[in-house]
Structure 1
Amino acid sequence: MRTSPTRRPRPTPPGRFGPAELRLALAAPRPAAGLTSEWRLVDGLRTHTRRTADPGTGGTPVVLVHGLAVSHRYLTPLALALADTHPVYAPDLPGFGLTERPGTAYDVLRHADHLAAWLAAYRMPPACLVGHSFGAEVVAALAARHPDAVRAVVLAGPTSDPAARSRRGQFGRWLVDTLREAPLQAPILLRDVVDARPWRVHATLSHSVRNGVEADLVRIAAPTLVVTGSRDPVVPASWRSQVTRLVPRARAVTVPGAAHNVATTAPAQVADAIRALLAPSLTNR
């Protein structure tokens, strides 16, 4: 009996996010478009992961690490864009998405330790870690302390720029960004904030602005890609350039027309950049 292939939403231009993407982002824990959910006990917390099937290409596993106040949901478009060539995993950090909520809000280092334990629980080979926004801080901390677990690093819209390293400064930039993002992302943010609880979001923002990410950036040994949207007010060109200079083996890619959520609204472009990073001729330099 012939089965029809799983339909995936058509890629949308940078800065857009349509109804099909929204439905898939909110589908978990139900299977959808080849994405499934699973839970594993990691450091005593029931930790949720949204993942794709292994395409059988031998490609490096790609781990997507979400930002502040959000979860795996908004990274679904990027997971699907990479699914044909790489096994993709999008864990929810402690307290966010469908992962168990601890009684305290973890700081950057504690999130990085949890992610390292998550990698060990999955017996993951050296992986490509893609961190967006606050997730880039977590990935940088992990890569600096566990270099053997990392094949490559992608810092997408990394926070936080020292020129606005305060709760007021970051919140102000995020407010500007909301005017540049696709409106249909709003239901995802609302769902994620309800899951996490506002107090955890506020506390995690406090941890972020107290985190001196520069100290971790200079210790990243893996080939690194710094990805930002050209219209990202959270990560201006000056901070993007500084991040790229600090990481020893980094190069930058700017996606025209995209704002801060570049992994959501420009998944095809970001996926192509990740594949280029993972090409043997680049990662072996």
Structure 2
Amino acid sequence: MGTKATPRRAPRRPESSLAERWTTVDGINLFYRESPVPPDAPAMMHLHGFGLSGRYLLPTAERLADEFHTLVPDLPGFGRSGKAGDALDVPDLAHAAARFLDDRGIEKATLVGNSMGCPVILEFAHHYPERIDRAVLVSPAGGLYNQPLRRAVGQLTRDGSREPPRMMKVAVPDYFRFGVPSTFKMFRSLTQYPTLERLLQLRIPTLVVIGDRDPLMPGASRVQEVAAATDNHVLLVKIEGAAHAINFSHSGELAHLIRLFMADKPIVDDPGSPGHARLYEIHRGTHLPPADDRGIGR
């Protein structure tokens, strides 16, 4: 009798229409997704949040991939990427992001971050101001509002009930992979990070996007107060109905908003998405192109 053939394992289905690739940065295997490079397209890198990978950023990143050289890495210690000898903190992740761009031969990029990705962007801009074109800070997290840990856990729990159910299928495996020891060290680094100080140092056009159902963010009035203190280079936009993971839950609205910001156009709702979440600006710095009447709600 012949031996029974071993069934072949079906190849893993790609998670994204972006190409899935590996590289090595500082001796660590780094997983990332990358779009084909349109001619003369500016580079845009998307940076994920606490404990997560770049998977949940893909809905927004894919919508922008035809217009920008789009990169979505899993930072060292997160997602499918390898871990460093010690868990990384916010400055370490910013330096790792810069070295990843070096590896890809990219001198300058617009950085789009969600949650923890926003402090990483601010630290990147602090050390490499000549390498960042614009900053897009979506649901920026960290600082006193998310302390102590039990309060942050409660905020995350409330947020989980406000996100699309399919977000949990993405987030839960990432959190388990990240692990408890890394969680405590990264949380300490994130909540001690001088977010406001770094934001005030920025001198580039900056878009801040918040959701009105995000329990990890202070109220819009406090966010607006901070934005108004940043030497008038910040555009602050609120998306009604959105919680924390806007890049996943409201990718159409966010991608539309990013396109307008990158083109210095007034903020208006997407005419192709009638009846969906409304977005409108609540602060525009005087150093940014002015909005007309169409830019305030609809």
Category of TM-score, reference length = shorter chain: 0.7 to 0.9
* Equivalences, count: 257
Where do residues 84-95 of structure 1 align in structure 2 (5 Å cutoff)? 84-95=66-77
1:276 aligns with 2:260: yes
- Quick check: 1:106–1:204 contact (8 Å CA) kept in 2? yes
The equivalent residue for 2:33 is 50
1:252 aligns with 2:229: no
- In structure 2, C-alpha distance between the alignment counterparts of 1:242 and 1:93, rounded to whole Å: 31
From 16, 19, 22, the counterpart of 1:39: 22
Where do residues 144-183 of structure 1 align in structure 2 (5 Å cutoff)? 144-183=126-165
Secondary structure of the structure 2 residue equivalent to 1:232: coil
- In structure 2, C-alpha distance between the alignment counterparts of 1:239 and 1:171, rounded to whole Å: 22
Give 1 or 2 for the bigger CA radius of gyration: 2
List runs of 5+ in structure 1 lacking aligned partners.
Answer: 1-27
What is the CA-CA distance between 1:51 and the residue it aligns to? 1.7
Normalising by structure 1, we get a TM-score of 0.83
- In structure 2, C-alpha distance between the alignment counterparts of 1:277 and 1:243, rounded to whole Å: 20
- In structure 2, C-alpha distance between the alignment counterparts of 1:284 and 1:228, rounded to whole Å: 19
What is the CA-CA distance between 1:31 and the residue it aligns to? 4.0
The equivalent residue for 2:81 is 99
- In structure 2, C-alpha distance between the alignment counterparts of 1:202 and 1:256, rounded to whole Å: 32
The equivalent residue for 2:55 is 73
Percent of pairs with identical residues: 30
Residues 145-181 of structure 1: CA deviation (Å, up to 9, x unaligned):
2111100001100012533432222222111111111
The equivalent residue for 1:16 is none
CA RMSD of aligned residues (A): 2.2
Secondary structure of the structure 2 residue equivalent to 1:41: strand
What is the CA-CA distance between 1:29 and the residue it aligns to? 7.3
Secondary structure of the structure 1 residue equivalent to 2:46: strand
Residues 228-256 of structure 1: CA deviation (Å, up to 9, x unaligned):
11211111324422442343311111111
What is the CA-CA distance between 1:54 and the residue it aligns to? 2.2
- Quick check: 2:114–2:137 contact (8 Å CA) kept in 1? yes
- In structure 2, C-alpha distance between the alignment counterparts of 1:204 and 1:210, rounded to whole Å: 10
List runs of 5+ in structure 2 lacking aligned partners.
Answer: 1-10, 267-286, 290-298
- Quick check: 1:30–1:36 contact (8 Å CA) kept in 2? no
- In structure 1, C-alpha distance between the alignment counterparts of 2:166 and 2:264, rounded to whole Å: 37
Q: Which has the higher contact order (CA 8 A, sep 6+)?
A: 1
> What is the identity, as a one-letter code, of the residue corresponding to 1:48?
F
